[in-house]
Structures are given as structure tokens and as C-alpha cells.
Amino acid sequence: MSMRTLFLKADEPGVRRGAEVIRAGGLVAFPTETVYGLGADALSAPAVARIFEAKERPQGNPLIVHLGDAAALESVAARVPPRARDAAARFWPGPLTLVLPRAGAVPLITTGGLETVAARVPSHPVALALIEASGRPIAAPSANRSGRPSPTRAEHVWEDLDGRIELILDGGPTPVGIESTVLDMTTEPPMLLRPGGVTLEQLRDCLGEVAVLKGDDLEAAGRSPGLRYRHYAPRAQVIIVERGAGEVAVAPWLEAGRPVALMAQRRVSLDGPGFRVRTMPGDLEAYARDLFAVLRELDSTGVEGIFVEAVPPEGLGLTIMDRLRRAAS
């Protein structure tokens, strides 16, 4: 399917137009604080079906339902345990997604056939305004073509989805830059399914014990269907190396005349034809904000390999390493 994709500033008229598109069963890409989302009416099966088509997303991979406030949870979740309320009170609006029992109003296509639903209240003013103006919960995966790095700028959405969706609302770069944390509240203790913008340390501080799903666990794929699929991958091969090992790792590639890039949180003095260095911020919040844009940008230069030095897997570093590992796999 090919259509004309409108690209509008995410101001008041833009949001009003977006709400009309959502209510008519169409697709609108919009900024959230994490990454751009590709939104449709979460309660309309045909509207949600179009998200899967536009992204070429496998049908078993469930979507996150975006709400205007925590009170709206009652309309999409059959039950909200007290601890889920605690987590919502502490982290919403913000980059935390809670998995809860599905209410009948939510079509199975939205939940990838599961009897649970994932929901969050985003903090980005444009996302909140769009939900409010459309009067619907909005199902939205990241607004990238399936398998590509998540979009943190409206231009990334354009690259991936032009001609496939009705509207892109441009609200500038997204402030967090990596997706929400996904936390399963249907188990005791709650289980971290995907690390994200809210850290494991923050969750434990609020909820006590929190289990961590191991990504390589086969059972894991059933619990967190998103893990089954290739993710965040640029065209170039992504290779993770230890901190400080970048120069040695790229040397054989450069000797063979293959263009490569290196991402490291330090000054790299190596230089040469076909070699690109990106100095990544030492501060992990800033690193996370830049990560997907840097991957896309380096990829567009035509390098064959993107070497990345590892960051310590604590706080947001855990999320950054999760995304890098999946980009590399």
C-alpha cells in the first residue's frame, strides 16, 4: 500500500489533525519521551492491523497501549494489583510499561494474542495531547520499520515509513532516546522483561524484589515475545568490544581496506582512510539519547562494521548494553 504521508509540526493544529486520523482508524507517528511511536486506536482491530502492516511487524509481537493517566488503566486491564498502582504512582507519566491482565475491550491483535496487556502513561506533552484529543487509548510500537534502530527523530520515521502511514508529527528529538522498561506485574515477584528508561535499581527501590528475565532463556521468548525478533540492527555489522580495545579490534578491518566506525566513550587517536570515530558521552543519559541516532548516522555512511566499546552494565548502562547486544546479534 502506498499513500501520501503528511509531515506536520507537533503544534496544536498538528495534534488536532492527528486525533482526527486516529479516530478515523489511521496511523500517526508521534514523539514520546523515549522514542517516536506509531499510533493507532488500541481498541480497533482493523486500525491496529495496519500498524503491523506498515512496520512489517510479526503478528505475535504485542504492542504497548498508551494512556492519558493511571485512571484509564481500568479500561484496558482486568485487574490492577496494588503493587502495579505503586509503580504507576511513582513512575508515571514516564518510561515504564506495566504488563497486566487484559480487559475484554482490548482486541487480541493489540496484545499479540496474549491474555495480558502492556500499558504506560508517557510524559511527552505531544503524546499526552494526542491521547487526550483523540479520546482513545493509543497502541504504539516504536515507529521504525521492523528490525531497524528505533526512531528518536521525526526524520528517522520518515526514512522508514514514508508512504505507509497518514501522518508524522515532528516534535524534535526525543529526550530519553531508548524505549520504556517493560515490567510484568502478573508474576510474584514482578519480572523485568525489557530494561529501559527506568532502571532496575529504581524499580527495586520502589517495589522490593524484582526478577530479571534472561534474554537467552527459551521460555523468555514466550513471556516477552519481542525478544524473539531481530532488533535495532543497522545494515552494517555491529561488534561489541571491551572498553579500551577499539583500536586493536578495528586494525585488521582497516588493513583489509574495509570502512569501519568506532563508538567509544573516550578520545581515540587512531586515524585513517575509511575510519570514522564517534566519541560517545560519558554520561549515560546523554549516551542513551544519542545511541540510535548515531547507529543510523554511521550506517548511512556505508561503513561495513560498527565497533562499539562496552559500557558498565549498571543503571542505564544495562539498557544500553541490552540494545547493543541485540543490534549485534
| Residues in touch with ligand TXA (CB under 6 A) | 32, 34-35, 37, 61-64, 95, 97, 99, 111, 114, 116-118, 140-142, 179-180, 182, 193-194, 224-226
Nearest residue (CB) to ligand TXA, 165 versus 261: 165
Taking CB atoms, the residue at the shortest distance from Mg ion is: 142
Nearest residue (CB) to ligand TXA, 231 versus 261: 231
Please choose which of Mg ion, ligand TXA, none residue 171 contacts, taking the beta carbon within 5 to 8 angstroms, the exact cut-off set by kind. none
Nearest residue (CB) to ligand TXA, 29 versus 303: 29
Taking CB atoms, the residue at the shortest distance from ligand TXA is: 226
Provide long-range contacts, Cβ within 8 A and 24+ apart, for 21-27.
Answer: 21/166, 21/167, 22/47, 22/130, 22/134, 22/136, 22/138, 23/134, 23/135, 23/136, 25/50, 26/50, 26/165, 26/166, 26/167, 27/51, 27/54, 27/164, 27/165, 27/166, 27/167
Please choose which of Mg ion, ligand TXA, none residue 182 contacts, taking the beta carbon within 5 to 8 angstroms, the exact cut-off set by kind. ligand TXA
Nearest residue (CB) to Mg ion, 58 versus 81: 58
Nearest residue (CB) to ligand TXA, 210 versus 260: 210
Please state, in angstroms and as integers, the Cα–Cα distance from residue 56 to each residue in 38, 111, 164, 241, 267, following that order.
12, 16, 10, 31, 39
Q: At its nearest, how many Å lie between Mg ion and the CB of residue 261?
A: 23
Whether the Cβ atoms of residue 165 and residue 28 lie closer than 8 Å to each other: yes
Nearest-angstrom CA–CA distance, 272 and 144: 33
Nearest-angstrom CA–CA distance, 282 and 122: 27
Nearest residue (CB) to Mg ion, 110 versus 142: 142
Please choose which of Mg ion, ligand TXA, none residue 110 contacts, taking the beta carbon within 5 to 8 angstroms, the exact cut-off set by kind. none
Please choose which of Mg ion, ligand TXA, none residue 64 contacts, taking the beta carbon within 5 to 8 angstroms, the exact cut-off set by kind. ligand TXA
List % helix, strand, coil for the chain (3-state, nearest 5).
35, 20, 45
Q: At its nearest, how many Å lie between ligand TXA and the CB of residue 90?
A: 17
Nearest-angstrom CA–CA distance, 194 and 172: 25
Nearest residue (CB) to Mg ion, 102 versus 323: 323
Please choose which of Mg ion, ligand TXA, none residue 111 contacts, taking the beta carbon within 5 to 8 angstroms, the exact cut-off set by kind. ligand TXA
Whether the Cβ atoms of residue 298 and residue 276 lie closer than 8 Å to each other: yes
Q: What is the contact surface with Mg ion in residues (CB under 5 A)?
A: 142
Q: At its nearest, how many Å lie between ligand TXA and the CB of residue 55?
A: 9
Element of type H or E holding 138? strand 138-139
Q: At its nearest, how many Å lie between Mg ion and the CB of residue 146?
A: 8
Q: At its nearest, how many Å lie between ligand TXA and the CB of residue 269?
A: 37
* CA proximity to 151, closest of 134, 176, 125: 176
